């Protein structure tokens, strides 16, 4: 179960000047490397560099960051909160098997990975529907590009 206390990176724990220095270092691509006590240098792989840079940027903006492993199990309420839906709507999605879940005793649990899969699928479906709507409006000659720019 996710414990925010253990997974939360609070910017108040790092002095502002240190965060500012880190933000400058991470602003330069391929600039950051790790150096151990013996002076051995290890460059960060691109994937880690990008994530560390984002973490440092967010923290320098005084935003806390919470790290969540993909296999983290969410309660139905936490999963609903993440997706921005009611708990009952989430339970309905689970019962319709749109999102996989498992039970711990009598309680349903949803992994973060499964929430991400559902969220991507939902967003893709929404984008496709909006693209089709825009194309239909355009094909019907109902889109006034001059008017749209005035708003």
> Per-residue pLDDT tens for 93-111?
999 999 999 999 999 999 9
Report whether pLDDT(145) > 50: yes
The sign of the torsion formed by the CA atoms of 44, 50, 51, 53 equals: positive
pTM: 0.67
State the CB neighbour count (10 A cutoff) for residue 115.
22
Cβ contact 11:62 at 8 Å: yes
Instruction: Give, for 110, the enclosing helix (H) or strand (E).
Output: strand 107-111
Res. 151: pLDDT tops 80 = no
Mean pLDDT of 76-105: 97
Domains by residue range for the chain, with CATH: 4-66 (no CATH), 73-139 (1.10.1660)
Query: Cα(85)–Cα(120) distance, rounded to whole angstroms?
Result: 15
Residue 139 has pLDDT above 50, yes or no: yes
As a whole number, mean pLDDT of residues 103-120 equals 97
Q: What is the pLDDT of residues 4-52, one digit of tens each?
A: 557 888 898 899 999 989 888 888 876 678 899 999 999 888 888 889 9
Residue partners of 77: CB distance under 8 A and separation at least 6 = 87
**What phi, psi does 38 have (nearest 5°)?**
-90, 0
């Amino acid at each position: 179960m996710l414990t925010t206390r253990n997974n939360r990176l609070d910017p108040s724990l790092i002095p502002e000047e240190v965060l500012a220095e880190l933000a400058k270092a991470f602003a330069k691509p391929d600039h950051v490397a790790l150096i151990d006590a013996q002076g051995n240098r290890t460059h960060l792989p691109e994937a880690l560099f990008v994530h560390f840079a984002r973490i440092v940027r967010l923290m320098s903006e005084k935003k806390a960051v919470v790290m969540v492993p993909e296999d983290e199990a969410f309660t139905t309420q936490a999963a609903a909160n993440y997706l921005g839906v009611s708990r009952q709507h989430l339970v309905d999605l689970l019962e319709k098997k749109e999102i996989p879940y498992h039970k711990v005793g009598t309680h349903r649990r949803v992994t973060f990975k499964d929430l991400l899969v559902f969220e991507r699928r939902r967003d893709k479906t929404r984008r496709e529907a909006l693209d089709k709507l825009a194309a239909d409006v355009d094909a019907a000659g109902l889109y006034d590009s001059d008017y749209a720019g005035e708003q």
